[in-house]
């Protein structure tokens, strides 16, 4: 097991794989984006209650999903980094933070824009939006801690601990916010999304989810390459690649 | 596995040392309490002395102020131990660092959390809370401040080597304290609305158990990183 | 791996930013060895001692205690280690006795009160027992920390500049402690910029060159 991790977790190997597959993933993501947006914005029927407004879910829902997904990826790779001292896992976590925060921010903004016509306000203390806001704070804390500690190895380990603490807390935060919201719920329209949706509205949503997912992997692979070069800048495989012009 | 008596010896040794240190500089220990009292008394000045309005915001205000007071006190939790080298000695003591950290957190809570708890009924009266809620306020703070000490200590340990780490500490710890705030203030609110607060208090108690089990591991890991990174 | 080595460092590499602080350092310490790490300021002496003690992690290389990697047997190793760094680990608000008792009790059950007082007297702190340590001079605070040499029955001492701020008597006391310890089969790794009047042992000098700039 351990040997296996070390072979397939060795930076030169991963760098090569990443370089080979990341363009394909990028192209696939672009195709899915075009297809999903066309299906969602043009083909899908308008909503019975919300009319055309609901179409923002094709960005909002995938962004919200990715914001959680990326944090979990960050926490799992942080745990791998702490337990097996696998430096590549730290590269994954580090490369994920900014894009995860961006997904969270996108989910907040689209949620807020969606709230304007449905609730009549730009911001409603809705449980999901509030959780998302706390999640954004967690991302910002992670990046701030990483930036604040000078010694790179210590920064990596401290940030990893924070990510693990955060991921244990996310369900608790989510639950507490749901509970708090159910107490203070004013009589507003609850938004119709989720399983009640018609299949013709759901399919574009899944396509968009796939597009976001692939976009993240593409971004991760490209950013990891930069991270590996930076971290291993004194290693021979890097200088060989630089001299051979094979970056 | 070490014998229980040995673990108890480690815990009580550190706790006694820490209590000695805090008694020697007890004036500093009172600052969070003063902060708590002063900030709460600012609210009537800010929003007006109308009794109903004060009572309505009191649970949230008192709880947020308690949270901030705890946060303030956490800033230097490990700073002097780091500066004088005690922390290095703890890391190298051959004893479980998480247990040492737990003793340290307990002494921190006794010094800062407990005074807040004891002072809170008085502030409740100032904020015009109904008499029936005062005991719930104190109990919710008793459980909640202990969780905050434990979780906050992880943040304090992570920011050990960061210069001016106080603001960063707040950024790290505040999102994690959202559930404590919700259930703590919620418990008081419930009693004020003549509902039972048992649910919230049980959740806080469960939080204490979970934090007791997990936070010391996190604190110890973070302290090791901090000590490794610099003199 | 060398047979019988107590502490062994293999090819330790440590970077601090773009500076290579330790460039492939290997070191063996056996029972009875007294090893003095020498080198100019900034040559990585403190970093090496901290790495040997398991406080700092090396970027590459591994430290072994009795043949096993350090991080696999942390508690066992630490039970046999006494590390005194630049910072003495003495709290300014506690008295010398309270400071020492807290460490001794944490590490090895209830301390022997008589031995503790005896050590403090031997170090010339007999008059200062009830004073908080912040009222003591730097040299006296160093003496309080050094008293642990006489009180903790462990195998390996790692001492970073133990003679800092000490007067002649203090230096002699430390020298005699080190000699006794080595004679009893203990091992010592230390740094100092002062000359030490050893009588019975001849320290092994381990030289670290000046900091090597990164390529």
- Pick B215 or A41 by higher pLDDT: B215
Mean pLDDT of A153-163: 95
Q: Is residue A4 part of a domain?
A: no
Nearest CA in chain A to B171: A141
CB contact under 8 A, B20 and C85: no
Contacts C214 to A, Cβ<8 Å? 234
C153-206 per-position pLDDT tens digit: 899 999 999 998 899 999 999 999 999 999 999 999 999 988 888 888 888 889
Q: What is the pLDDT of residue A202?
A: 86
Residue C213 above 50 pLDDT? no
Nearest to B220 by CA among B95, B129, B80, B124: B95
d(CA C118, CA C113): 9
Domain residue spans in chain B? 2-230
Contact pairs from chain B to chain C, CB under 8 Å = 82
> Which site among A101, A170, A172 would you substitute to test the B interface, given the most B Cβ atoms closer than 10 Å to its Cβ?
A172
Nearest CA in chain B to A172: B179
A205: left (phi over 0), alpha (psi -120 to 50) or beta: alpha
Nearest to C145 by CA among C169, C161, C168: C161
Contacts C213 to A, Cβ<8 Å? none
Phi, psi for residue B98 in degrees, rounded to 5: -65, -35
CB contact under 8 A, C214 and A234: yes
Cα separations in angstroms, A159 against A149, A155, C89: 9, 6, 27
Question: Any chain B CB within 8 A of the CB of C20?
Answer: no
Identify which of B17-31, B135-149, C60-74, C134-148 has the greatest average pLDDT: B135-149
d(CA A70, CA A73): 5
Mean pLDDT of A168-197: 71
Q: What is the pLDDT of residue B2?
A: 61
Interface confidence, given as ipTM, is 0.91
Nearest to C86 by CA among C158, C24, C28: C158
Of B84, B91, B228, the CB nearest to C87: B84
- How open is the CA angle B216-B221-B225, to the nearest 5 degrees? 145
B184 contacts B139 by C-beta, under 8 angstroms: no
Q: What is the pLDDT of residue A179?
A: 86
Q: What is the pTM of this model?
A: 0.91
Q: What is the pLDDT of residue A184?
A: 65
C64 beta partners: C8, C69
Rounded to the nearest integer, the mean pLDDT of chain A is 88
A188-227 per-position pLDDT tens digit: 444 445 456 678 888 999 999 999 999 999 999 999 999 9
Residue A32 above 50 pLDDT? yes
Q: Tell me which DSSP letter residue A54 carries.
A: G
Domain range for A33 is 19-43+52-186+211-237
> Which site among A149, A153, A232 would you substitute to test the C interface, given the most C Cβ atoms closer than 10 Å to its Cβ?
A153
Residue A185 above 70 pLDDT? no
Q: Is residue A157 part of a domain?
A: yes
Mean pLDDT of C44-56: 93
Task: Please provide the size of chain B in residues.
Answer: 231
Contacts C215 to A, Cβ<8 Å? 234
C59 contacts A156 by C-beta, under 8 angstroms: no
Report, in angstroms and rounded to the nearest whole number, the Rg of chain C calculated over CA atoms. 17
d(CA B12, CA B8): 6
Angle at which helix A152-184 crosses helix A87-119, to 10 degrees, equals 30
Q: What is the pLDDT of residue C210?
A: 54
C45 contacts C39 by C-beta, under 8 angstroms: yes
Q: What is the pLDDT of residue C215?
A: 32
Nearest to A157 by CA among A146, A147, A141: A146
Domain count, chain A: 1
Q: What is the DSSP string of C71-107?
A: GGSHHHHHHTEEEE-SS----TTS-HHHHHHHHHHHH
Q: Tell me which DSSP letter residue B92 carries.
A: T
CB atoms within 10 A of CB B128: 17
Q: What is the pLDDT of residue A3?
A: 61
Which residues 66-85 of A have a C-beta within 8 angstroms of B? 82
Q: Is residue A121 part of a domain?
A: yes
Contacts A141 to B, Cβ<8 Å? 168, 171-172, 175
CATH code of the domain covering residue A79: 1.20.120
Q: Tell me which DSSP letter residue C126 carries.
A: G
Contacts A147 to B, Cβ<8 Å? none
Of B171, B174, B230, the CB nearest to A151: B230
Position B105 confidence tier, pLDDT thresholds 50, 70, 90? very high
Nearest to C80 by CA among C19, C158, C25, C195: C158
Q: What is the pLDDT of residue A59?
A: 93
Q: Tell me which DSSP letter residue B127 carries.
A: T
- H or E segment to which residue A14 belongs: helix A11-38
Across chain B, the runs of DSSP E, i.e. the strands, are none
C182 contacts C30 by C-beta, under 8 angstroms: no
- H or E segment to which residue A167 belongs: helix A152-184
Residue B30 above 90 pLDDT? no
Contacts A173 to B, Cβ<8 Å? 175-176, 178-179
Q: What is the pLDDT of residue A190?
A: 47
């Amino acid at each position: 097991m351990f040997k296996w991790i070390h072979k397939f977790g060795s930076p030169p190997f991963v760098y090569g794989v990443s370089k080979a597959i990341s363009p394909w993933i990028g192209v696939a993501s672009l195709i899915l984006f075009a297809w999903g947006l066309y299906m969602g914005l043009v083909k899908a029927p308008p909503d019975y209650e919300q009319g055309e407004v609901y179409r923002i879910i094709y960005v909002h829902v995938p962004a919200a999903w990715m914001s959680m997904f990326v944090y979990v990826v960050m926490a799992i790779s942080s745990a791998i980094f702490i337990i097996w001292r696998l430096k590549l896992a730290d590269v994954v976590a580090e490369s994920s933070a900014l894009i995860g925060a961006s997904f969270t921010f996108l989910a907040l903004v689209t949620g807020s824009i969606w709230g304007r016509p449905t609730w009549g306000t730009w911001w409603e203390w809705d449980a999901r939006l509030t959780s998302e806001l706390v999640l954004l704070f967690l991302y910002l804390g992670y990046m701030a801690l990483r930036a604040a500690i000078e010694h790179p190895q210590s920064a990596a380990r401290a940030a990893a601990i924070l990510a693990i603490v955060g991921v244990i807390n996310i369900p608790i935060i989510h639950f507490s916010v749901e509970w708090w919201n159910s107490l203070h719920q004013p009589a507003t329209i609850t938004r119709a999304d989720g399983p009640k949706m018609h299949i013709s509205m759901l399919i574009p949503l899944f396509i968009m989810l796939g597009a976001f997912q692939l976009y993240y992997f593409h971004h991760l692979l490209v950013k990891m390459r930069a991270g590996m070069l930076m971290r291993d800048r004194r290693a021979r495989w890097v200088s060989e690649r630089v001299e051979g012009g094979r970056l | 596995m070490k014998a229980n008596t040995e673990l108890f010896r480690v815990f009580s040794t550190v706790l006694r040392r820490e209590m000695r240190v805090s008694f020697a500089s007890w004036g500093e220990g009172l600052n969070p309490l003063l902060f708590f009292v002063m900030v709460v008394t600012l609210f009537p000045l800010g929003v007006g002395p109308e009794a109903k309005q004060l009572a309505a915001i009191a649970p949230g205000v008192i709880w947020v102020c308690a949270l901030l007071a705890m946060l303030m006190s956490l800033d230097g939790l490990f700073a002097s131990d780091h500066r004088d080298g005690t922390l290095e000695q703890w890391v190298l003591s051959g004893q479980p660092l998480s247990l040492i950290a737990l003793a340290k957190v307990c002494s921190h809570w006794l010094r800062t959390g407990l005074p807040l708890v004891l002072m809170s009924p008085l502030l409740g009266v100032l904020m015009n809370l109904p008499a029936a809620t005062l005991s719930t306020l104190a109990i919710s703070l008793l459980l909640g401040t202990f969780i905050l000490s434990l979780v906050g200590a992880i943040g304090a340990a992570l920011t050990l080597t960061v210069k001016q780490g106080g603001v960063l500490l707040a950024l790290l710890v505040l999102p994690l304290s959202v559930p404590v705030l919700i259930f703590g203030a919620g418990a008081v609110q419930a009693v004020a609305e003549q509902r039972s607060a048992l649910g919230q208090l049980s959740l806080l108690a469960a939080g204490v158990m979970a934090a007791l089990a997990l936070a010391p591991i996190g604190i110890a890991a973070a302290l090791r990183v901090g000590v490794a990174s610099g003199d | 791996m060398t047979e019988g080595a107590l502490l062994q460092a293999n090819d330790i590499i440590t970077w601090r930013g773009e500076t290579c602080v330790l460039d492939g350092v290997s070191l063996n310490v056996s029972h009875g060895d007294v090893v003095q790490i020498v080198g100019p300021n900034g040559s990585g002496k403190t970093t090496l001692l901290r790495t040997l003690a398991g406080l700092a992690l090396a970027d590459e290389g591994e430290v072994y205690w009795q043949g096993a990697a350090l991080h696999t047997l942390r508690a066992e190793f630490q039970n046999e280690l006494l590390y005194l760094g630049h910072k003495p680990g003495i709290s300014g608000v506690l008295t010398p006795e309270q400071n020492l008792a807290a460490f001794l009790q944490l590490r090895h059950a209830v301390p022997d009160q008589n031995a503790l007082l005896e050590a403090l007297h031997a170090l010339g702190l007999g008059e200062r027992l009830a004073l908080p340590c912040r009222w003591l001079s730097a040299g006296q605070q160093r003496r309080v920390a050094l008293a642990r040499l006489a009180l903790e029955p462990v195998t390996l001492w790692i001492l970073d500049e133990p003679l800092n701020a000490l007067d002649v008597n203090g230096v002699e006391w430390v020298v005699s402690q080190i000699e006794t310890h080595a004679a009893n089969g203990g091992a010592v790794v230390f740094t100092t910029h002062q000359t030490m009047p050893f009588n019975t042992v001849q320290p092994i000098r381990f030289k670290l060159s000046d900091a090597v700039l990164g390529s």
